[in-house]
Structure formats: C-alpha cells, structure tokens
Amino acid sequence: MKIAMWSGPRNLSTAMMYSFAARGDCAIWDEPFYAAYLAASDLDHPMRKEILAAGQQDADRVAAACLGRVPGGKQIYYQKHMAHHMLPDFPREWLSSCANVFLIRHPVRVIASYAVKREAPVFDDLGYKQQLELFETAAVLSGNMPPVVDSHDLRDDPEGILRALCRAIDLPYTDRMLNWPAGGHANDGVWAPHWYGAVHQSTGFAQPEPELPAIDARFAPLLERAMPIYKKLSEYALTAER
C-alpha cells in the first residue's frame, strides 16, 4: 500500500510521518520531490546544496520510486509530500495508484510558524494553491473526494482523528500511532536540523492548539489568499471516531 500525504509546511506533517513510522508495518519517505523541486525551480532554500546532493533531482524517477518496492520489507509505504514541491510539469498520474490524504492547517498558524524559520515567505511557499490543485487531481483520478485531516483536529483528539483516517484509507488502526521515540527518525530528510527541532523533542502529538496567534500586518495578503482555500478543503475534513 502506498500513502501519499500532501501537506504544506508547518502543518504537523513530520509528526504525522513519525506516527505512521511508529506502526511497525510502515516504511517512510520524507519529502521525495524536494531535490527535484529545488533543481527545477532554482530557488534558494536553507541547506539547498545538501538537499540537492542527497536527493534525486529527476522528478520522473522520483514518481517511479514512489510506486516502487516498499523498503525494508514493510507492507505500507508512507510518503510525506510537500504540495508546493509538485511543480506544474512534474508527473501526477502516479497519484492514481496511491491513497492520497491532505493535511491542512489554519493559515495564521502556518504563516506565523513559517516566518520564524524562513523570512519573508511568499504565497507559493505555503502550499495552499498546490494542495487544492492536487486535491482536485486526486479526486478525478480516484472518483472520490480524498480524506482531509485538519491539524487542529488532530491535536485536539489524536486517537479519534487517526482512527477516522485509518478507516478512510482502509488501514487497521493501532495505538502505536500515538507515540514515537524522541530524537527524530533515521529516514528524516537531510534538512531536518533546520526544520525539525521541536518535533525531535516530541514523543507524541502536542496538546490542543491555543488561540490563533497574531501575525505581522505585512502577511495580510498571504492570509487573504490562503483562507478561501483552507475553508474549501476544510469542508472535507474528517471528524474524530471512537
């Protein structure tokens, strides 16, 4: 089984990856298209040289590997994808062979968190537009609306949301998904030292989110563009099960 989890940055995507890794039957791949995205876009990201050196820069080869043999003799191949890494000319037909899931987060929280790690984000950095495009593509390819997980709901009730997600993708739920060892995972991307500090200290999903933070007025245009997409995807968000 192949699971393509489509997220934007700062969406609890690494915690979700650790959750699936903790199952025991699941191999993980951290941001498969990152090197290809940087090579094709020529963008300047933190640790750019290291990412290009460590990853496959050919998007067609990455897509083929996403559908290839599951590493380590595992039954499930969980792939944590950043939606904005999927540039318009990257292959997408391979999504039809995956269980596609979309992980969303309120734009205020994403912008506030992302700006701490990378100054002056632009709209394309946040992944909302690309998430919606991929959501619509996956819906057409599968004939069904893909499941959506809101990170707020996940933190509010991890077990309930994970149960609902497992049911939605026809995967048995296990309580192992609720906890993982501190210190990161052997399959973390090479960029982990820059981005994963907080989650490396975690052993499970954090407590429910507090009130929305304030963000700088200069980010208002980003918020204005992101909110309608977030609200649209929220219409398909899973509700907790027990």
What are the structure tokens assigned to 197, written together?
């500090």
**Lowest-confidence pick of 25-39, 116-130, 193-207, 226-240:** 116-130
Cβ pair 47, 96 in contact under 8 A: no
Tell me the whole-structure pTM to 2 decimals: 0.95
pLDDT tens column, 172-196: 999 999 999 999 999 999 999 988 9
Percent of the chain surpassing pLDDT 90: 85
Determine how many CB atoms are found less than 10 A away from the CB of residue 70.
Answer: 16
Residues of the chain with pLDDT > 70, as a percent, come to 99
As a three-state string, the secondary structure of 96-108 is: HHCEEEEEECCHH
> What is the Cα Rg of the chain in Å?
17
For 2-234, the fitting CATH number among 3.40.50.300, 2.60.120.560, 3.10.20.600, 3.20.20.140 is: 3.40.50.300
- H-assigned helices in 28-157: 34-41, 48-54, 59-66, 107-117, 123-126, 128-142, 151-156
Average pLDDT, integer, range 9-22? 94
Residue 76 token pair: 């499930």
- Distance between CA atoms of residues 179 and 23, nearest Å: 9
Rounded to 5°, the CA angle 78-84-86 comes to 70
- Tens digits of per-residue pLDDT, 99-141? 999 999 999 999 988 877 666 788 998 999 999 999 999 999 9
- Token code pair at residue 145: 């609306």
